[in-house]
Chain A
Amino acid sequence: MNLLEIRGMVKRFGGLAATDGVDLDVRQGEIHAVIGPNGAGKTTLIGQVCGTLAPDAGRILFAGVDATRLAPHQRAELGLARSYQITSLFPNFSVIDNVALAVQARSGSSFRFWQPVADERQLADAAQDILDRVGLGDLGQRTAAALSHGEHRQLEMALALATRPRLLLLDEPMAGMGGEESAHMVKLIEDLRGDYSVLLVEHDMDAVFRLADRISVLVAGRIIATGSVAEIRADAEVRLAYLGEDEA
């Protein structure tokens, strides 16, 4: 069953088509990676999936709902969560309050003006569970701005998880990470398998080949191939267009 269906997605900037008829499916429970060279339209595609960019043509079905015209927050309510390539946190909040704010987003109305948040133990408890899961369990009281780059990436992931999403959109989660941090993040995503469906946009080929159930290759605004890791590795067109001649 498809959790996310993208059909004929187009976005033009001036005369240039950044996405030029993208078709993409993410199945329930799979980790689906999108790879592609710089300028292939990955960032635009993410914007269109999240709703920050309005498409010029095409349709998005998410969990059986036509999400094409929905605002970002409405898509989030349907169960779409994202992480950002460039870390996007609440720098002046403590680490645990960052996550608690994300938990709060999916646990009833926040038009509550009187009862202190501090009384709602379940928010802090849920936040602590998630921090433990991503490996930040001991850093809850730190200010988010004071974390290291790798920790920022982990917190970024925690925020996405805290909204209990059906689909997790990870925008280059390994960006700017060293070898060890990177391995840690791969392990983290590995552990998500089965609990979440993941759309992973990533440059790090080793990570993608290790994590993905299926891979789609985006070149010049179009998906030129979709298949298993083995199929993509074997695909001549992909190797020519993307993996480079020397590997072919």
Chain B
Amino acid sequence: MAPLTAFVLAMALPAVASAFGQDFYVGFASRILIMAMLATSLNLLVGLGGMVSLGHAAFFGAGAYVVGILATEWRGVGNYALLAWPLAMALSAALALIIGAISLRTRGVYFIMITLAFAQMLFYVALSLKAYGGDDGMSLSQRSSLPGLDLAIDSHFYYVVLALSAAVFMLYQRLCAARFGRVLLGIKDNEARMESLGYPVYRYKLAAFVIAGAVAGLAGALMANQNSYVSPNMMHWEQSGVALVMVILGGLGNIWGGLAGAAAFLIIEEALSAFTKHWAIGVGAILLAVVFFAPRGIAGLWTAKR
């Protein structure tokens, strides 16, 4: 029941934060949840299917650009969340289908590098979109609109993010336990054997890649709203690296790995930056410690204790 307790606490957050006059934390929590969605989608690839992608931010950025471009090109209607967000997912899924179809013909290190290469290509495409800010990126004049809610209010937006991320975590959990998840785990453990048992391995991997891409696209669409800003840096390889770091930090293949990793990374960053402007050194040192002392990640530590 721990997830339910956590969900109830998360529901109460905006009220508590505003009671203490700390409204900043509502936006901060939204950012954590959005990054957790991105990390969870990557965990589906890396933790479940053993596909180490260093280009996952491409789909995150693509989702963000869909929101940004629709809002500029099609004032009013282009702002509808119910139009823009599904479109963001669809475009990211389509890109994942193309990129995955080619990349999944390679394995191991070559897969890492080829996903990186595709993400860099999209990064440079975004850089060349002078009409949409080029390398400066573009500011959004307002958040997407949803009937019945005012997403410009941080707490409203937070509740939407909370609901969507809860849905993503639930989807991930169901996937893990369902046939599809077993197949992915099997592929991670012994791909050749899966093939000889009669599983069309490539198709399963591609399906996972597309699902992960779509979820990353949704996270990107939400992040564009959260920051009211879209830039090519959302697709930069370091962003992919951060997502990967969050997954490993949180716990590979663990249902809560994405959330734990995103929360830990952003909270550490926030906490250290209160003390020193050179907080990145501290974050780096903590990550090194995790590699050497907690190889199964934070969620792994917690599961081990129980």
In the complex, whether A178 has a CB less than 8 A from a CB of chain B is: no
> Which residues on the B side are within 8 Å of A105 (C-beta)?
197-199
Q: Can you list 14 pairs linking A and B with CB atoms under 8 Å apart?
A: A50-B196, A72-B195, A73-B196, A88-B190, A90-B185, A90-B190, A104-B183, A106-B198, A110-B183, A111-B180, A112-B178, A113-B180, A115-B178, A117-B179
Q: Number of contact residues on A: which range applies?
A: 35 or more
Interface assignment of B134: CB less than 8 Å from any CB of chain A: no
The reply to whether A73 and B200 contact each other, CB–CB distance below 8 Å, is: yes
Most buried by A among B185, B186, B207: B186
- A13 proximal to B (CB < 8 A): no
B73 at interface (Cβ–Cβ under 8 A)? Answer: no
Task: Enumerate chain B residues within 8 angstroms of A113, measured Cβ to Cβ.
Answer: 171, 174-175, 178, 180
Q: Which residue of A lies closest to B201 (CB)?
A: A73
A101/B204 in contact, CB under 8 A = no
Chain A nearest Cβ from B31, distance in angstroms: 28
- Does residue B192 face the partner (Cβ distance < 8 Å to A)? yes
In the bound complex, CA of A110 to CA of B179 (Å): 5
B84 to nearest A CB, angstroms? 25
Within 8 A of A (CB), among B149-207: 171, 174-175, 177-183, 185-186, 189-190, 192-201, 204, 207
Residues of A within 8 A of B181 (CB): 117
Q: How large is the interface on B (under 10, 10 to 19, 20 to 34, 35 or more residues)?
A: 20 to 34
- Nearest 10 A/B pairs, CB to CB: A76-B198, A116-B177, A110-B179, A90-B189, A112-B179, A105-B197, A105-B198, A72-B195, A88-B193, A110-B183
Between A and B, how many residue pairs show CB distances below 8 Å? 93
Q: CB within 8 A of A102: which of B175, B177, B197, B207?
A: B197
Q: Does A93 contact B (CB under 8 A)?
A: yes
Interface of B is mostly: helix
Per-residue CB proximity of A121-163 to B under 8 Å, as 1/0?
0000000000000000000000000000000000000010001
Given A88-B190, A92-B189, A117-B182, CB of A111 within 8 Å of CB of B196:
no
Q: Which of B195, B197, B199, B201 is the one whose CB lies under 8 Å from A159?
A: B197
Contact B198 A73 (CB under 8 A): yes
Contacts of B199 in A (CB 8 A): 73, 105, 110
- Pair A117/B186 contact, Cβ less than 8 Å: no
Residues of A within 8 A of B197 (CB): 73, 76, 81, 101-102, 105, 159, 163
Q: Name the residue on A nearest B197 (C-beta).
A: A105
B180 in contact with A163 (CB, 8 Å): no
Is the Cβ of A101 less than 8 Å from the Cβ of B196? no
List of B residues within 8 angstroms of A101 by Cβ:
182-183, 186, 194, 197
Give 14 A-B pairs besides A88-B193, A116-B177 with Cβ atoms closer than 8 angstroms.
A73-B196, A73-B200, A89-B190, A90-B189, A93-B185, A93-B186, A93-B189, A104-B183, A110-B180, A110-B182, A112-B180, A113-B180, A118-B177, A163-B198
- Bound CA–CA A105/B179 (angstroms): 10
Q: Which single residue of chain A is at the shortest CB-CB distance from B190?
A: A90
Q: How far is the CB of B243 from chain A (nearest CB, A)?
A: 22
Residue of A nearest to B200 (CB): A73
Q: Are A82 and B196 in contact (CB under 8 A)?
A: yes
Distance, CA A118 to CA B185, complexed state (A):
15
Alpha-carbon distance between A189 and B200 when the two chains are bound, in angstroms = 28
In angstroms, how far is the closest chain A Cβ from the Cβ of B49? 13
In the bound complex, how far is the Cα of B193 from the Cα of A76, in angstroms?
A: 11
- B204 contacts across to A, CB distance below 8 A: 110-111
A78 to chain B, nearest CB (A): 9
Q: Which residues of A contact B183 (CB under 8 A)?
A: 101, 104, 110
Q: Find out whether the CB atom of B189 lies under 8 angstroms from the CB atom of A116.
A: no
A72 to B197, CA, bound (A): 8
> Which B residues are in CB contact (< 8 Å) with A89?
190, 193
CB B204 to nearest CB in A, in angstroms, measures 7
Report the Cα distance A105→B185, complex, angstroms: 14
User: Inside 8 A of A71's CB, which chain B residues have their CB?
Assistant: 195, 200
Q: Mark B239-270, 1 if CB is under 8 A from A, else 0.
A: 00000000000000000000000000000000
| B51 smallest CB distance to A (angstroms) | 16
- Best-buried of B174, B181, B199, B207 by chain A (most CB within 10 Å): B199
Contacts of B174 in A (CB 8 A): 113-114, 116
A100 to B186, CA, bound (A): 11
**Shortest beta-carbon distance from B178 to chain A in Å:** 5
In the complex, the chain B residue whose C-beta lies closest to that of A97 is: B182
> Which chain A positions have C-beta within 8 A of B207?
111
Instruction: Name the residue of chain B whose CB is nearest to the CB of A114.
Output: B174
Across the interface, which residues of A come within 8 angstroms of B177, CB to CB? 116-118
Measured in the bound complex, the distance between the Cα atoms of B118 and A244 in whole Å is: 59
Q: In whole Å, how far is B227's beta carbon from the nearest beta carbon of chain A?
A: 31
How many Å lie between the Cα of A43 and that of B196 in the bound state? 15
